[in-house]
Amino acid sequence: LSLERIPLNRVALNWPADRAGAVLQSTTLLRETNTAWTVVEQVAVNDGVVVRVTNSVAGALRIYRLWQP
């Protein structure tokens, strides 16, 4: 998972297309155990090389992960 700052206070989250089945999740509070992860609802775009989701950087700090179901 990589992050790239893009114009208009947004961030692009990218990961390899061969991991397209992974679920992007986020949290605002990382705990040692029992972290509450939420599925990121923005639509992912898969161009065959990478999967990309863009999100606003406004608001609370967010921590992201890819979860493989």
pLDDT for the residue 18: 92
pLDDT at 57 over 90: no
Average pLDDT over residues 6-35: 92
pLDDT at 58 over 90: no
3-state secondary structure of 7: coil
pTM for the whole thing? 0.85
Whether 12 contacts 54, CB under 8 Å: yes
Task: Say how far apart CA 46 and CA 61 lie, in whole Å.
Answer: 26
